[in-house]
Copies of this chain bind each other. A is one copy, B any other.
Amino acid sequence: MTRRAYVHRIAAASPDDTSGIEAAIAAGRIDPSGIVAIFGKTEGNGCVNDFARGFATQSLGLMLKQHMSAEAAHAVCLVMSGGTEGGMSPHWTVFERRDTDEAPAGGPALAIGRTRTPVLPFCDLGRVAEVDMVAAGVRAAMQDAGIDDPDDVHFVQIKCPLLTVQRIGEAEAQGGTVATRDTLKSMGLSRAASALGVGVALGEIGRDQIGDGRIAADWSLWSGRASCSSGIELLDHEIVVLGTSPNWSGPLVIDHAVMSDGIDIEPVRAALRRLGFAADGQLSAAERTRLVALLSKAEASHDGKIRGHRHTMLDDSDISATRHARAFVCGALAGLVGHAEIYVSGGAEHQGPDGGGPVAVIAERVIPNA
């Protein structure tokens, strides 16, 4: 008896287009009872007033309820990351796990865990209390995956809440103070605190290094495996841990890389090679079929530069910096892997070094002599 992970990458024609997932269920490729998480790249602006995420979440929930109880549907982690700038292609990544009679993979196989945290008080957003809440959540999700060693974790996806004018009003009406009254900035603070929580849980950052004043401020603190998106549609945190375990079965494997800036693709190439890809130049069409999913973060470096050259992302009042960064980093990664149906999520505060970010590669294992 082992558990086996399945990852399905499925195109979405719009934020409410769940037809591809439903077709996969109908065809038996997906067993809905095993779905633990769905990541969506949805085509909104990825910022405060991005209702495409909520629309997708609602639509996925309706779809899931056709196949399971409302309670079970609610337990599925739906992580919608808004913004498909540049050539990025809107799509779903469905994570499924099944109990199986197969023997363990005979080496590390993809393992998936998940959890939800309690609801975050609005006044805790962007503060140490959020870091601690997330760190506890990551540990719970590792346990859910059966991963003991933090080094075996390659990606932690978190969906965290944000502040709106109304939420700030509520918090203040109750006598509280919020970390920021700027709603767009609240998205960054929530991602920042969540990422630090991952870093603490994985042993990348010492808990004693964290203070309110360093959240979204001290960019020397970062996790190389955290990916955090904030959204208007939830009040708690959804956490999905992706790693490897010798106790899981199936052909899927995962590795990760850390880009030091928005064009630093060589570490990703190295990760691809560790997973058996030739990756000389752009992935060939043949190799591309083994690439199951590419998950990454993107952000504009806070010093306004990339390798010494000025960028204009932070000074642009027409297009938010997160949108610029997603389009750009997606281009760099697509140039490497040969397609743009990849998951690039904006706002990489404490997720990789300033201006860079973590990248996870999920692939099918090369079968020797096949």
Contact = CB atoms under 8 A, between A and B. Distances in A.
A263 B331 contact: yes
B340 A306 contact: yes
A302 B310 CA distance: 32
Contact of A319 (B323, B325, B332): B323
Contacts of A309: 11, 89, 91, 339-341
23 contacts: A13-B166, A15-B54, A15-B55, A16-B51, A52-B55, A55-B58, A85-B324, A88-B312, A165-B314, A165-B315, A169-B303, A182-B182, A263-B331, A263-B339, A265-B282, A266-B281, A280-B280, A306-B334, A306-B339, A307-B339, A319-B323, A328-B330, A330-B331
Given A87-B262, A263-B339, A339-B307, A48 B320 contact: no
Interface of A: 11, 13-16, 43-45, 47-52, 54-55, 58-59, 62, 84-91, 164-166, 169, 181-185, 232, 262-263, 265-266, 269, 280-282, 300, 302-304, 306-320, 323-325, 327-336, 338-341
B48 A319 contact: no
A312 B52 contact: no
A325 B86 contact: yes
Tell me whether chain A's interface is mostly helix, strand or loop, or mixed. Answer: loop
A169 to B, nearest CB: 7
| Most chain B CB atoms below 10 A, which of A86, A302, A304, A315 | A86
B332 A85 contact: no
Contact of A166 (B84, B304, B319, B336): B304
Nearest to A311: B87
| Most chain B CB atoms below 10 A, which of A14, A91, A280, A313 | A14
Nearest to A282: B266
A169 B302 CA distance: 10
A90 B332 contact: no
A186 to B, nearest CB: 11
